[in-house]
Structure 1
Amino acid sequence: MSYQLSAIVADVELLGEQTTDLDHAVLAALRQDFALLPVTPQLVEELTGARPDFVPGPPTPEHPFHLVFSPALSDLLARWSRHAPVAYLEAEFAGGGRRQAAVVWLDGAVSWGPCSDTALDGPRAGWPINAALARIGAEPGRWIDPFAELGLHQAGSNEGWLAQGRRRLSADYWDELAEEWEYRQNAAEQQPRRPRSVGDWGIS
């Protein structure tokens, strides 16, 4: 299966306060009181007053994101980060290729990144999204890494996150469905409930 993400992740109260009057902002709930804001062309235009630009061709170490960060967008996220850390995350898994990139703002400036990785063959803690989530305060839990701990495996695209946000689904909604299905499958053996494995980012 493919996976695509272009989103801002930060404290749910911060994102709620900053986007409450925006027509194109849809917040999706994550665990640990975080929220995900899918970044769409319409949202960028509403935030900055200009249509976004995108890197032609594959991202590079010099330009790690598909989205080109205009000064207006960078300044906006820097201002948000004066209240709580803010991360911008991109990921793409398709056709055997894998890519992640992330950057974190804190106290009004970039505090980490941008960092990108197209191999993802090192320890999971060092993968860009996991590293960024740890820097904005994600805490370890029962899941394999911060990506899964916050629930970023729950939707496979920005469209999925928009749908989840509009339906106001909790971060545990899909986990509860998966656990119920597994419980029914294993009822005859009386096996205890347990969280579904997310495999490699929950898309395998």
Structure 2
Amino acid sequence: MSYQLSAIVADADLLREETRELDHAVLGGLRQGFALLPVTWQLVQELTGTPPDYATDEPGPEHPFTLILSAELTEALAGWSQRGPLAYVEADFAGGTGHQAAAVWLGGALAWGPRFDAAFDGPRPDWPINGALVELGAEPGRWIDPFAELGLHVERSTEGWLNHGRRGLSADYWDELAEEWEARQ
């Protein structure tokens, strides 16, 4: 089973305010008042005025993201972070192997990261996306880690999150379906 994500995660109100004028912004609702903005080719083009550029080499600690964060895109993220912290997160897994990376902006500057991991041999809280979500203010709960606590597991791709957002679903949608199914059994 695969998982692929390229997204900005932040407080839902912050993302709604910053993206209200954008044609290609679709927000997916997460738990704890957060939202996820899938980063698509069209969104990057709209934010920066130029098509996105992608790394040709495999991501690693020195170059953690597949999407090359241009000066224009970084400037947009830094500007949005004047209203509160936000994270850019990437994950790409297939067949049990893959990587994830994350960085957090706050107050107009890079405040944490970027962090990269492809081994996942350390504790779950140290994985890049979990660390970034904690930096954003994610609180512990009944789920195994911040990634699941906020609901980033409910869709398996950036495209899935686009559809999720277009349908106006919350991260609790799949849990609610499971509870309905169990109640009928």
CA distance in structure 2 between the partners assigned to 1:79 and 1:135 by the alignment = 18
Deviations 1:21-73 (A, max 9, x none): 11111000000110000000110000010101000031121110000011111
**Post-superposition offset of 1:184:** 4.2
Higher RCO (Cα < 8 Å, 6 or more apart) = 2
Secondary structure (helix, strand or coil) at the match of 1:92 reads strand
Residues 155-174 of structure 1: matches in 2 within 5 Å? 155-174=155-174
Q: Is the CA contact (8 Å cut-off) linking 1:117 and 1:127 kept in structure 2?
A: yes
CA distance in structure 1 between the partners assigned to 2:121 and 2:172 by the alignment = 29
Residues 152-191 of structure 1: matches in 2 within 5 Å? 152-185=152-185
Matching residue of 1:73 = 73
CA distance in structure 2 between the partners assigned to 1:183 and 1:57 by the alignment = 49
The answer to whether 1:19 aligns with 2:24 is no
Matching residue of 2:137 = 137
CA distance in structure 1 between the partners assigned to 2:92 and 2:183 by the alignment = 32
Matching residue of 1:103 = 103
Matching residue of 1:35 = 35
Matching residue of 2:151 = 151
Identity across matched positions, percent: 68
Deviations 1:68-97 (A, max 9, x none): 011111011011111110100001110331
**Post-superposition offset of 1:178:** 1.7
Structure of larger gyration radius: 1
Secondary structure (helix, strand or coil) at the match of 1:181 reads helix
Matching residue of 1:58 = 58
CA distance in structure 1 between the partners assigned to 2:60 and 2:117 by the alignment = 10
- TM-score calculated relative to the size of structure 1: 0.88
Q: Is the CA contact (8 Å cut-off) linking 1:54 and 1:67 kept in structure 2?
A: yes
**Post-superposition offset of 1:171:** 1.7
CA distance in structure 2 between the partners assigned to 1:134 and 1:61 by the alignment = 20
CA distance in structure 1 between the partners assigned to 2:150 and 2:33 by the alignment = 9
Matching residue of 2:4 = 4
Q: How many residues align?
A: 185
Matching residue of 1:199 = none
CA distance in structure 2 between the partners assigned to 1:181 and 1:144 by the alignment = 23
**Post-superposition offset of 1:183:** 4.3
CA distance in structure 1 between the partners assigned to 2:110 and 2:86 by the alignment = 9
Q: Is the CA contact (8 Å cut-off) linking 1:98 and 1:120 kept in structure 2?
A: no
CA distance in structure 1 between the partners assigned to 2:182 and 2:117 by the alignment = 34
**Post-superposition offset of 1:181:** 2.6
**Structure 1: which 5+ residue stretches go unaligned?**
186-204
Q: Is the CA contact (8 Å cut-off) linking 1:26 and 1:162 kept in structure 2?
A: yes
